[in-house]
Amino acid sequence: MFLLLTGCVSQQRYDDLQAQNLEFTKRVHELEQKNDTLHKELDAYHQAAQFYYKTGTDLYAQGRYGDALEAFDKLTDRFPTSPLIPSAEEKITAIKNMSTANYQALLKSLEGQTTVRAKIDLMDRELKEKFFTKEQAAALTEKKVNLQHEIEAQKHMIRNIVVEDDQTRQATFYRTTKPVEQQVGYDKKFYVELYIIQKYSGKKSYRIKTRFSAPDYLSYDTVVLQGDNGTRLEVKSVHPRKQSAVEGDGITEWSDDEIADEEKVSRLARSNSISVQFKGGYKYTFELEEEEIAAFRELVRKYQSLKSPDKNFSHR
């Protein structure tokens, strides 16, 4: 009985060990397969990273910097642990620095161009011949579109501005052809005209003509223009610039005054709406109509396009 019992226990132990051995063998085989798969995936990982790196370096050597940058960006995005990343990042930095240098040089060159058309032509050439990142190319394209809009605005402005040359006063006047008189109520008329005077010496300034017509005196001595952007322009009108006369159908008062603060005029032109107040014995306030505001803006653009005083300025 003892011998039989001992034999049974040994056989059971043997069977258990056999089972464990089979399980371990199976596990080792699974690990070997997994290890083989990981080696293949790692090899594919390195091959893909190498592909993007080689593509980028080849394109870089060919001067195709935009395509090279795209390849290097894919490498850094998809394979952040690749040992090729430091070298790729150096190339990315070099490409972006090149673009920035081209961008800054172009902006400086644009400042030296005297016409809007020359600026657009320069940008077209540089965009074709030089490399810019997508972001900087987009910024230049937006600038170009704005310049094209400016050309259209200048064409429109030329049609609506008349130039008067007064050799007696040694000056050139720029006035709008748009209506600047407005009826307020049934018996009052207000006239507000911004215009430009430029001396032959080059000195330029804004002036504003105002006029009031009604059955009775207003006796205004101040005209206030208020923009919805908070800009307030106040013009004092005093004798002898301020005049008045009695006519058959009532009273007419008028004045022609210089505006010293040209920056305030520029800010006022950026308003969406402009109110006008004539202040004197009475106060009258009204809003400029859209055509009057458009005329105001066109004169400001014209003023900004005129050459500033220069010792080399000469009248022709």
Residue 82's pLDDT band, with cuts at 50, 70 and 90, is: confident
Residue 110 CB contacts under 8 Å (≥ 6 apart), including other chains: 119, 122, 123
Residue 170 CB contacts under 8 Å (≥ 6 apart), including other chains: 199, 200, 201, 315
Q: Does 213 reside within a domain?
A: yes
Q: What residue type is assigned to position 212 of the chain? A: F
Residues 186 and 283 in one domain: yes
pLDDT given at position 49: 80
Q: What percent of the chain has pLDDT over 90?
A: 50
Q: Cis peptide before 240, with omega less than 30 degrees from 0?
A: yes
Q: How many separate domains does the chain show?
A: 2
pLDDT given at position 148: 86
pLDDT given at position 92: 92
User: Among the listed ranges 13-22, 176-185, 189-198, which one has the minimum average pLDDT value?
Assistant: 13-22
pLDDT given at position 105: 94
Domain of 212?
167-305
Residues 178 and 149 in one domain: no
pLDDT given at position 157: 62
How far is residue 286's CA from residue 288's CA, in Å, rounded to a whole number?
A: 7
> Residue 7 pLDDT more than 60?
no
Q: Does 157 reside within a domain?
A: yes
Q: Does 117 reside within a domain?
A: yes
Residues 90 and 208 in one domain: no
Residues 183 and 278 in one domain: yes
**Residue finishing a domain among 134, 162, 190:** 162
Q: For residue 25, give the 3-state DSSP assignment.
A: helix
- Judge whether 209 and 259 are in contact, CB under 8 Å: no
* Torsion angle (degrees, nearest 10) of CA 239, 241, 247, 251: -60
Residues 145 and 14 in one domain: yes
Using only C-alpha atoms, what is the Rg of the chain? 40
pLDDT given at position 156: 66
Residues 155 and 199 in one domain: no
pLDDT tens column, 264-314: 999 999 999 999 999 988 899 999 999 999 899 989 988 988 876 554 444
Residues 184 and 43 in one domain: no
Residues 106 and 188 in one domain: no
Residues 194 and 98 in one domain: no
Q: If you average pLDDT over every residue of the chain, what do you get?
A: 84
**Residue finishing a domain among 109, 144, 162:** 162
> Residue 45 pLDDT more than 60?
no
- Between CA 304 and CA 308, with CA 305 as vertex, the angle to 5 degrees is 75
- Judge whether 130 and 140 are in contact, CB under 8 Å: no
pTM of the model: 0.54
- Contacts of residues 184-192 at CB distance under 8 Å and 24 or more positions apart, as own/partner, are 184/284, 184/286, 187/214, 187/215, 187/250, 188/212, 188/213, 188/214, 188/284, 189/213, 189/214, 190/276, 190/278, 190/284, 190/286, 191/254, 192/223, 192/225, 192/276, 192/288, 192/292
Which two structure tokens, joined as six digits, stand for 222? 């101040």
Q: For residue 194, give the 3-state DSSP assignment.
A: strand
How far is residue 212's CA from residue 183's CA, in Å, rounded to a whole number?
A: 10
Q: What is the mean pLDDT of residues 209-227?
A: 94
Residues 59 and 118 in one domain: yes
Q: Who has greater pLDDT, 185 or 227?
A: 227
pLDDT given at position 313: 44
Residues 232 and 104 in one domain: no
Residue 230 CB contacts under 8 Å (≥ 6 apart), including other chains: none
Q: Who has greater pLDDT, 289 or 159?
A: 289
Q: For residue 293, give the 3-state DSSP assignment.
A: helix
Residues 157 and 51 in one domain: yes
Q: Who has greater pLDDT, 175 or 19?
A: 175
Q: What is the mean pLDDT of residues 156-185?
A: 88
Q: Does 231 reside within a domain?
A: yes
